[in-house]
Amino acid sequence: MSATGTTRQKMPADILAMKGGAPIVCLTAYTTPIAKLVDPHCDLVLVGDSVGMVLHGLPSTLGVTMEMMILHGQAVARGLSNALMVIDMPFGSYEESPAQAFRNAARLMGETGAGAVKLEGGVHMAETIAFLVARGIPVMAHIGLTPQSVNTLGGYKVQGRGEDGARLMADAQAVAEAGAFAVVLEKVPQGLADRITAEVGIPTVGIGAGAGCDGQVLVVDDMLGLFTDFKPKFVKRFGELGRAAEAAVADYAAEVRERSFPATEHSFADEVKK
């Protein structure tokens, strides 16, 4: 609630304050209608670079551009009044230097109205996160499986098993110390995710990281059954809208071909009776 008693849109500080409390609910959105649909139920809505695969048919997130993120960010912003909007920084827009990251993060926030940006990386991105936060750019971090690094990771593998767990713990601590207000843990063993959640002072938002995280995120098209090109282990289908849509399209095509649509009630008379 605001000082006037009216409901206001959530801010990064509100998400940070949810650490250890009620679980944070997060979904992706790329369009205004979906943003309106998820907004009343979510604390945080992510305009993810997954848009490249989900809506544009790209084989990975690597081909997503700043212009694509801005276009979809603007669309999502029009549908939100409750949830914090976080927008992904696309591959190549922040890795070169903190100064490059600031220019592009400021552009994303300025042109979309996003309340924060998300970027991938742990220890090696801590300097950049601190640079952004010091200049008024709230940052959500993302460690574990980082899809923009899929070529160097050798595929979409679980991260942090065995001795590799120490690396991820160090990543989580580094981004928290750098000033990130939350961190996404993707495809991380549940036990490790639980330890990270217990030891870092910022909320953890899991995707394939078990139920012990401070919150959860899924790609909305995955959980609705709209994007069916692949189904990761961590995705639960909460709906099968893709099948329902396919059946509806088939019914439409059949009625058009048999000339039962449009019917009289869908058509206009030559003259209007007075």
Spacing of C-alpha 190 from chain mean position: 21
Residue 260 is labelled as binding a ligand: no
Q: pLDDT confidence of 157, banded at 50, 70, 90?
A: confident
- Helices (DSSP H) in the chain: which residue ranges? 12-16, 32-38, 51-54, 66-77, 98-112, 126-134, 150-153, 165-178, 190-199, 220-223, 241-257
Q: According to CATH, what is the number of the domain 12-239?
A: 3.20.20.60
Q: Determine which one of 96, 163, 186, 255 is catalytic.
A: 186
Q: Tally Cβ neighbours within 10 Å of residue 243.
A: 13
- For residue 153, pLDDT over 80 is answered with no
pLDDT at 2 over 60: no
Q: Residue 274 has what pLDDT?
A: 66
Q: What residues contact 39, with CB distance under 8 A and at least 6 apart? A: 45, 79, 80, 81, 82, 83
pLDDT tens across 187-213, in order?
999 999 999 999 999 999 999 999 999
Confidence at 172, pLDDT banded by 50, 70, 90: very high
**Section 171-191 average pLDDT:** 98
| Residue 260 pLDDT greater than 70, yes or no | yes
Range in 130-134, 151-155, 191-195 the model is least confident about: 151-155
Q: Beta strands 182-186 and 204-207: pairing type? A: parallel
The reported pLDDT for the residue numbered 255 is: 97
Q: Where are the domains of the chain?
A: 12-239
> What is the tens place of the pLDDT at every residue in 38-53?
999 999 999 999 999 9
In this structure, which amino acid lies at residue 67?
E
Residue 40, pLDDT score: 98
Nearest Cα neighbor of 205 from 63, 84, 73 is: 84
| Percentage of residues in the chain having pLDDT higher than 70 | 96
Residue type for 11, please?
M
Looking at the DSSP bridge assignments, the partners of residue 183 are 141, 204
pLDDT score, position 144: 96
**Minimal CA–CA distance to 76: which of 100, 112, 42?**
112
At residue 38's C-alpha, the angle toward residues 49 and 141, to 5°, is 40
**The pLDDT of residue 155:** 75
How far is it, in rounded angstroms, from Cα 182 to Cα 164? 21
* Residue 50 is assigned to a ligand binding site: yes
Confidence at 151, pLDDT banded by 50, 70, 90? confident
The reply, when asked if residue 88 is annotated as ligand binding, is yes
How confident is the model over 54-94, as pLDDT tens digits? 999 999 999 999 999 999 999 999 999 999 999 999 999 99
Q: Kind and range of the H or E element at 65? A: none
240 is catalytic: no
Determine contact, residues 224/208, Cβ cutoff 8 Å: no
- pTM beyond 0.85: the answer is yes
Nearest CA among 96, 132, 98 for reference residue 117 = 132
